[in-house]
Amino acid sequence: MLNTEEKIGVSVGLVVSALAIGAALFATKLLPSTSPKPVAAASAVASSEKQFVLGQINMALVDGKLTFTGRVADEASKQRLLKPARLLWGAENVIDQLVVDASVPAFWWAGRPIEIFARLKQLKAFELQLGGDKVLFSGEAGSMKLSDGINLGLGHWFKPGVAVASQLHVVEDAQLSVWNDGVLLNESIEFATGSAQVSEASQPRLKEIAAFLLEDGRVIRVLGYTDNVGDAAANQKLSQERAAAVRFLLIKNGVNGKQLIAIGMGQERPIADNGTDMGRQKNRRIEFSE
């Protein structure tokens, strides 16, 4: 489920009363709270204007390069966009043209950038413009199911009731057609054939993922998958061992073990055609999901 990007500060009135002769005296003390939802009605009203601010941000994916333009309130806001984008598309494919301008309001969406970007990552190309009370979107989806999922998300990811203008064209593509709702990362971690040993080539990538998870803090399921070659029971066991191996390396890189749950999914839920080498390669994967 999508959640807000920052914790909302709330104030709770604590009334202390003392009896005196013929009268009652009252005092009020404000206490900080870590609850993500406003408790006091006055606080909810005070924060309502900034709770869902789109910001003045444009994103465009062309030929595998994701370019950010627009204005953000501070460096922290910029990094909230760039870090998950670099994790998903690769640092070399993210172009930062954002301008820091303290006069613009800090953006506040209904979902975290990593959740939104993970959905957009399934598109071959797109352009997203956020500003005022409008969401303008165009792009290319590999299936109608994927298109429907993106269009539904656009109305919920940023601001309740926001005006959305979407031109998402469907160009059928078997390799870009699956709607993976809830999956944050889909990784082709390399293993030796029939082994659960993570290759040296994949370990730097796992170190990047660990750094992100350390900062993100949520509980993540590490899901292991195989292709459909061989015995289903053996594939189930192998997928569990591979998920556990990835979990171990993430813990080794600093992630709290309580934050990670390893689950073997075997050959279930293929995302590509097992009848081709490319499809089987895509199906041999590790997913990071809520």
pLDDT single digits (tens) 113-165: 998 999 999 898 999 999 988 999 999 998 888 899 899 999 899 988 889 99
Instruction: Provide the pLDDT confidence category of residue 17 given band limits of 50, 70 and 90.
Output: very low
Mean pLDDT of the chain: 80
Q: Which domains does the chain have, with CATH numbers?
A: 12-51 (no CATH), 56-176 (3.40.1520.20), 183-289 (3.30.1330.60)
Backbone angles phi, psi at 255, to 5 degrees: -75, 135
Query: Model pTM greater than 0.75?
Result: no
By the 8 A CB rule, do 190 and 199 touch? Answer: yes
Instruction: Provide the pLDDT confidence category of residue 276 given band limits of 50, 70 and 90.
Output: confident
Residue 4 has pLDDT above 70, yes or no: no
Distance set, CA 173 to CA 15, 47, 143 (Å): 63, 44, 7
Percent over 70 (pLDDT), the chain = 79
Distance set, CA 77 to CA 108, 149, 184, 224, 266 (Å): 10, 27, 20, 33, 39
Concatenated DSSP letters of 66-133: EEEEEEESSHHHHHHHHHHHHHHH-GGGEEEEEEE-TTSPPPB-SS-HHHHHHHHTTSSEEEEEEETT
Instruction: Provide the pLDDT confidence category of residue 274 given band limits of 50, 70 and 90.
Output: confident
